[in-house]
Structure 1
């Protein structure tokens, strides 16, 4: 079964997480207490399999993929048999294990069952399990610096994020989804907001941060897209990383064309692509 771990025991999952070769910062944020979340395992006394859920709607399964009880519970969870999931959740599996074949098998049988029952034409897409692609990137400083000379908006006003700006942020990707509260963000995070004619046009912030890495979150108001504002405000955060010895990190869905293109313009080069599953609701 998938058994919930107590928060005091989250650290037991970190050694296995450290062995993974993909971007796992969102899971680390949960395990280290930066963000709220839930952690499930196969055995609370001798845990070998882990499922980490971030409140933003991202999850990661890793560790031993051979527990039949755990995998049976995982099937129930992924297909939402209890009906308890009412918001999107995106799942990644450690590519070093057998998680992708297992999840693909669950996905195929679940979606085939819906088709067989003849319900699919009338069903909203959220009832199905969708497979997309998650992209990991490697940052190229030289590419970034060259692009900055071309695209950075010198005429824009960029300010460091304050508590007031933290609380006022709206949109799909905003700091309060990634930090416990305003005080926590101001003490451990960093962000910048680009103002245009007094309006909040674009914001880049630390979605996750470790001693040597910082993953970038970005949100732009619809009216200000396509004007290099996102590039410029991300530049401020990347410059902060470079000044403080942090590796800037970017991750997105391949299908998110705007984020994928912006990443490459900023010097992030695709290095790994793995399956990314939107679970059934």
Structure 2
């Protein structure tokens, strides 16, 4: 029987995590970022499914050959996860393996589903690879600000945009300001681009960037990404960039800054209904 693990017991899953795998699952297990974990055994789990708190996927961890878990997981998803996912507006199940051996297992378990897939690329930036000469010059009408409590509580026109970005990844603003860092571009007292720590573990910050559509094409994402990277490197932190292989603009920004592709993985998806 598959059961949900209490947050205070997440530590029991540490041995199931692939050290070379996704940062996001480490952040959930460590209790830094929100998420839920479903396992085969509450006392000594061998296999688990991590539901990322930002609803950006489900990551399978541990033993991919656990027959008992594999036989039950599809029914569990349909009866336990699907109803809750639909309530929060999630209509697709995105399955990711924490190590490559999960790929074949995921394909077998969900072969009766309308299963699609995509490729994901992960980049890391080391200090000696940073290309500061490529930091762009932006229009004077934009100003760059570091995310802090004063800005978070300011009466800026669309402060809800910043609040939503932080709550997407973090259980509270306090958690973000304790662990995360971030920068934004402001135009006429309006936040138009944000770059912040989506997930954080140890000394590694996973970058999330969003620019409002009306302000795209002004190199704002590149500019605030440079500020984010500079802050990380100054304090001995490692910037981590995870994006879809098909997202060519994101890859171009990462490589222009000096990020190096360290590993890739496959994501799978199927509709709930």
Scaled by the length of structure 1, the TM-score of the pair is 0.82
Relative distance call for 1:272 and 1:211 in structure 2 (3 A) is closer
Task: List per-residue Cα deviations over 1:90-125 (Å, max 9, x = no partner).
Answer: 2210334x31001112343223xxxxxxxxxxxxxx
Query: Is the counterpart of residue 145 in structure 1 residue 143 in structure 2?
Result: no
Q: State how 1:1-281 maps to structure 2 within 5 Å.
A: 1-17=1-17, 19-23=18-22, 25-57=23-55, 58-77=57-76, 80=78, 83-84=82-83, 85-86=85-86, 87=90, 88-96=92-100, 98-111=101-114, 129-139=115-125, 141=127, 142=129, 144-148=131-135, 151-153=136-138, 155=140, 156-163=142-149, 165-166=151-152, 168-170=159-161, 174-281=165-272
Runs of 4+ in 1 over 6 A off after TM superposition: none
Secondary structure of 1:235's partner?
Answer: helix
Task: Please state whether the residue corresponding to 1:263 is helix, strand or coil.
Answer: helix
Does the CA-based 8 Å contact 1:252-1:260 persist in structure 2?
A: yes
Deviation of residue 228 (structure 1)?
Answer: 0.6
The alpha carbon displacement at 1:165 in A equals 4.8
For the 8 Å contact 2:149–2:177, the answer to whether it is kept is: yes
**Secondary structure, counterpart of 2:15 in structure 1:** helix
Q: Deviations over 1:166-213 (max 9, x none)?
A: 472438x82211111112222222211111233212111111223321
Query: What is the distance in 2 between the residues matched to 1:277 and 1:134?
Result: 11
**CA offsets 1:213-251 (integer angstroms, 9 cap, x no match):** 111111111011111101001111100001000011000
Tell whether the 8 Å contact from 2:131 to 2:256 is kept in structure 1 after alignment.
yes
Which segments of 5 or more consecutive residues in structure 2 lack a partner in the other structure? 154-158
- Distance in structure 2 (CA, Å) of the matches to 1:230 and 1:277: 28
CA distance in 1, matches of 2:179, 2:187: 27
Cα RMSD for the two superposed structures: 2.4
CA distance in 2, matches of 1:110, 1:81: 15
How many pairs are equivalent?
258
Deviates more, 1:204-213 or 1:230-239: 204-213
Deviation of the 1:163 alpha carbon: 3.5
Residue by residue over 1:112-157, the C-alpha shift from the partner in whole angstroms, topping out at 9 and shown as x without a partner, is xxxxxxxxxxxxxxxxx32111111132543532322xx2437341
Report the Cα distance in structure 1 between the residues aligned to 2:102 and 2:126, rounded to whole angstroms: 31
Is the partner of 2:131 in helix, strand or coil?
Answer: helix
Residue 73 to residue 259, structure 1, CA distance change in 2 (3 Å): farther
Cα distance in 2, alignment partners of residues 202 and 138 from structure 1: 22
Q: Return the offset for 1:48.
A: 0.8
Runs of at least 5 residues in structure 1 that lack an aligned partner in the other structure: 112-128
What TM-score, normalized to structure 2?
0.84
